[in-house]
């Protein structure tokens, strides 16, 4: 760490040096004026920020680890607001980015075809938020969540700039996979442990403002039904979405000649554990999203493998052990279970709300009418409610631009041995998130900061890998 500090440029050294000089004094003052929790939290946060200024990737690595392993964690104290762990790491990413812009030898800002659509979507979201303030009172917590929402979207642009070569890209992908694999192991361990022990273990997280009490989740929230794996993600669907992304990143690594992990057996083991944990979530949307991702990879790489996917699917459908899971899927298709019935009702109400406020939506706080509510189990319908059809259209343009630009230049990536499997994994994971968005809302919901972060990190990585491949052309 000291060596890295010695090698840093003058502007960074000045900032970091000043921070180190003030750290001891600040800690002592906080300890005397507040308490041990606040002082310790401030010390750890300051130490993390200083280290991140020296190692620029640290903040992004930490963000990934947090949204994978402790996504809802907050500092165990309140100081005006209660910052989440993600608030701290994301703020540090921005601090590192702007600090690097002060360097005399800084590189020019990069741009992609998706930059302008993303900026337009941000501006339209802000406009809808402002217009929606007439519907509800703006409290500090709502404002913090919305600012975090905007910072998450902008994070995609920073990632394109920061992830500028293959080595950094590989390290980021490894971090996502390893963190997700650790989350999968934790999810399985909590699933197979006695319920009382699992619940007790999860209740210990309440010090970080996690929910406590009856935190285990069952199908239809009925303890008579099968238990659903949640890991530390609170919700099985959110956990399933994360695992689907990790599995999508791993799938292309199975057959590549240059896997990002040296031992192919390691990749296979990680994929088996991740899919096992995903199955235990009973998240039909996440499983369908992973299947769509695998089909996408097969179509792009080797269409003959579609037969293998079809054979595996048929095998699963007729295995005796999977009949309960298959029944869970067929109930959804027939609309016979409680969750599906509730979703259909939400969709109907969402179309009513969108019909009343089609242009800029109702914002992010509430609705003007007491006979309708804001919220629906679909990312796309929720966006249309919040930012209207104009803002929703701009979001679709962002996603379309990312895919079109990536597909247009895919041959450059696919013919590069070190980028091929990574390109397939990233875009396969992005396919998974777009499918999840049809039936779940957490990637765009203000209450699920970690899922937002994960989604926009993927957008940034999708743009970054295409840009890197263009430079290698």
Three-state SS for 278-302 is HHHCCCHHHHHHHHHHHHHHHHHCC
pLDDT of residue 28: 47
Lookup: tokens for 133:
């303030």
Query: Residue 292's closest CA among 282, 306, 302, 273?
Result: 306
Residue with tokens 């104009």: 390
pLDDT of residue 473: 65
pLDDT of residue 417: 79
pLDDT of residue 22: 46
Query: Residue 152's closest CA among 429, 463, 399, 460?
Result: 460
- Return the DSSP state at 194: -
Whether 266 and 177 have beta carbons less than 8 Å apart is answered as no
CA distance 114 to 356: 30
Which pLDDT tens digit goes with each residue over 223-271?
Answer: 888 899 999 998 999 999 999 999 999 999 988 888 888 888 899 999 9
pLDDT of residue 27: 44
* Adjacent-strand bridge partners of 227: 218
Query: Residue 128's closest CA among 352, 440, 384, 377?
Result: 384
Which pLDDT tens digit goes with each residue over 145-192?
Answer: 999 999 999 999 999 998 888 999 999 999 999 999 999 999 999 999
Whether 50 and 24 have beta carbons less than 8 Å apart is answered as no
pLDDT of residue 249: 95
* 124: number of Cβ within 10 Å: 20
CA distance 171 to 189: 27
User: Exposed/middle/buried for 448, CB within 10 Å: 0-12, 13-18, 19+?
Assistant: buried
pLDDT of residue 334: 64
Enumerate residue ranges in the chain where pLDDT < 50: 1-12, 15, 18, 20-35, 37, 39
Q: What is the pTM of this model?
A: 0.86
pLDDT of residue 6: 42
> Within 13 Å and on the Cβ side, how many CA atoms surround 82?
12
pLDDT of residue 319: 67
Lookup: tokens for 462:
């999708």
Query: Residue 464's closest CA among 41, 172, 136, 82?
Result: 172
Lookup: tokens for 417:
């041995």
pLDDT of residue 49: 55
């Amino acid at each position: 760490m000291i060596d890295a500090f010695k090698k840093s440029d003058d502007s960074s050294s000045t900032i970091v040096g000043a921070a180190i000089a003030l750290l001891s004094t600040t800690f002592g003052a906080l300890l005397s004026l507040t308490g041990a929790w606040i002082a310790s939290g401030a010390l750890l946060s300051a130490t993390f920020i200083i280290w991140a200024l020296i190692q620029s990737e640290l903040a992004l690595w930490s963000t990934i680890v947090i949204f994978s392993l402790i996504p809802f964690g907050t500092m165990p104290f309140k100081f005006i607001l209660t910052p989440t762990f993600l608030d701290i790491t994301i703020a540090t990413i921005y601090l590192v980015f702007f600090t690097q812009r002060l360097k005399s030898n800084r590189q020019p800002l990069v741009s992609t075809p998706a930059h302008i659509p993303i900026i337009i979507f941000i501006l339209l979201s802000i406009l809808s938020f402002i217009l929606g303030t007439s519907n509800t009172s703006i409290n500090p917590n709502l404002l913090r969540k919305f600012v975090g929402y905007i910072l998450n979207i902008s994070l995609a642009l920073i990632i394109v700039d920061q992830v500028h070569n293959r080595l950094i890209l590989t390290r980021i992908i490894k971090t996502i996979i390893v963190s997700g694999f650790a989350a999968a192991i934790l999810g399985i361990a909590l699933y197979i442990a006695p319920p009382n022990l699992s619940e007790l273990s999860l209740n210990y997280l309440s010090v970080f403002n996690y929910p406590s009490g009856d935190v285990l989740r069952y199908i239809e929230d009925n303890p008579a039904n099968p238990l659903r794996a949640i890991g530390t993600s609170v919700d099985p669907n959110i956990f399933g979405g994360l695992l689907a992304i990790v599995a999508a990143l791993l799938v292309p690594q199975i057959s590549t000649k240059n896997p990002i992990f040296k031992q192919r057996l390691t990749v296979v083991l990680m994929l088996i554990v991740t899919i096992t944990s995903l199955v235990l979530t009973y998240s039909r949307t996440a499983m369908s999203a992973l299947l769509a991702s695998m089909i996408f990879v097969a179509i792009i790489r080797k269409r003959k493998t579609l037969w293998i996917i079809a054979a595996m699917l048929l095998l699963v459908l007729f295995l005796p052990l999977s009949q309960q899971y298959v029944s869970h899927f067929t109930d959804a298709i027939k609309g016979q279970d409680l969750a599906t019935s509730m979703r259909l009702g939400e969709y109907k109400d969402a179309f009513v709300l969108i019909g009343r406020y089609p242009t800029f939506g109702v914002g992010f706080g509430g609705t003007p009418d007491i006979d309708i509510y804001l919220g629906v189990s679909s990312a796309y319908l929720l966006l249309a409610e919040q930012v209207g059809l104009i803002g929703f259209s701009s979001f679709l343009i962002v996603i379309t631009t990312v895919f079109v630009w990536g597909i247009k230049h895919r041959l450059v990536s696919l013919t590069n041995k070190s980028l091929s499997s990574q390109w397939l994994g990233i875009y396969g994971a992005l396919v998974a998130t777009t499918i999840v968005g049809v039936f779940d809302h957490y990637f765009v919901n203000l209450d699920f900061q970690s899922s937002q972060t994960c989604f926009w990190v993927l957008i940034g990585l999708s743009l970054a890998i295409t840009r890197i491949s263009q430079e290698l052309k």
